[in-house]
Amino acid sequence: MNKQIREYEKELNQAIQKALVRATGSSLSHLPFPENQYAPVQDIISEVILNGEIDTDDLRMMDSFEESDKYQKYVDDLVELDLLNRRDNTLKSGDVLDTIQDKESFKGHDVKTYQDELDAALGLYFEHNVGELDMIKRTLGPYLAIAGYYYRRALELDDLPVIDEEELKHGIKIEYSGRQKQKKLFKLSRYLIQLENVGVIKSIHTRGKRKWVGNDDTYDNLRQSTEEMGPVSNLISPSVNNQRTLGQSD
C-alpha cells in the first residue's frame, strides 16, 4: 500500500473515530477507565454531585500535588459546558448538570443513580473535546478501533452489516502493529463484551455462529455528525471500497 493511500486511510479512520465519539459519547462514558485517565474530571463532578459544591482552593491544592494545572484546565472545560458554575471561590452545578440530575433519562440513557449522572456528564465532556482525539484514544483506543471499523463498513454499505469477529479484527490490525497489535487482538473478546454492554454494537447468532451488528441510533447519530466527518462523506463512492480492501492489509 503506497504512502498516499496510507495517509488517506489514516485520515479517514480518524475522521470516523471523531464522529463516533461525538455520536456515542454518552455510551462510551460507561466503559471502564484506568485510574489515571479522566480521574480529575470524575473527581470534580463527583464532588459536586454528592456535596453540591467544591472549593477552588482544594483544586489548587490538588494541582500542587500533581505539579500541574490539570484540575484547573478541566474546570475551565466543565464551566464552558455549563456542567459547573463558578461563583467566587466555589464551584457548583451548572444548568446542564442540574438538567441531568433532574431527568430520569438523558440522551436516551437512564439516569437513576449517581454513577448514571457521572457517566452522562463525562459523555458530554468527551463530545465537547472530540478535537483532542489523541488524548481520548489513550483511553478508548481499541474500542474506537473496533467500533470505528464496524461503522466505517456501515457507512460504505449505507446499512448496518452483520460482521463476524474475524473481520472485526481488521479494526485492531489497521490501528496497531507489532506487539501492541498482538496484545489488543488477545483482548478482543473483552472489548466486544464491553462495547455490547454500553450499546455500541450487539451480538447475534445466525446459523450457529456468533456475529456482530451495530446500533440504529448510533448509526443515525454518526451520519448526522457531519462537522467531524471530514472525508467520510466520500465513502458513499464505490471507489472507496477498493481502497478499504487495501487498508485491511497487515
Print pLDDT tens along the chain (250 aa): 577 777 777 778 888 888 888 888 778 878 876 555 678 888 899 999 999 999 888 888 888 887 667 788 888 889 988 999 998 889 999 999 999 999 888 877 788 899 889 988 988 888 777 767 777 787 788 999 999 999 999 988 889 999 999 999 999 998 899 999 999 999 999 999 999 998 999 999 988 899 999 999 889 888 877 555 655 665 544 434 444 444 443 3
Q: Are residues 141 and 111 in the same domain?
A: no
Same domain, 54 and 15: no
Same domain membership, residue 137 and residue 239: yes
Same domain? For 237 and 189 the reply is yes
- The reported pLDDT for the residue numbered 195 is 93
Residues 241 and 158 in one domain: yes
Do 46 and 93 lie in a common domain? Answer: yes
Total domain count for the chain? 2
Query: Considering 106, 128, 150, which residue would you say is the last residue of a domain?
Result: 128
* Domain termination residue (choose one: 97, 128, 159): 128
pLDDT for the residue numbered 248: 43
In whole angstroms, give the CA distance from residue 131 to residue 154.
23
Same domain, 138 and 232: yes
Same domain for 153 and 100 = no
Q: Which of 163, 101, 93, 124 is nearest to 27 (CA)?
A: 124
- Examine the domain organization and report whether 215 and 229 are in the same domain: yes
End residue of a domain, out of 78, 104, 128: 128
Give the three cell numbers for residue 244: 478499504
Q: How many CB atoms lie within 10 A of CB 244?
A: 17
CB 189 within 8 A of CB 164: no
Asked if residue 155 and residue 117 are part of one domain, the reply reads: no
Give the structural domain span for 121. 28-128
106 with 230, same domain: the answer is: no
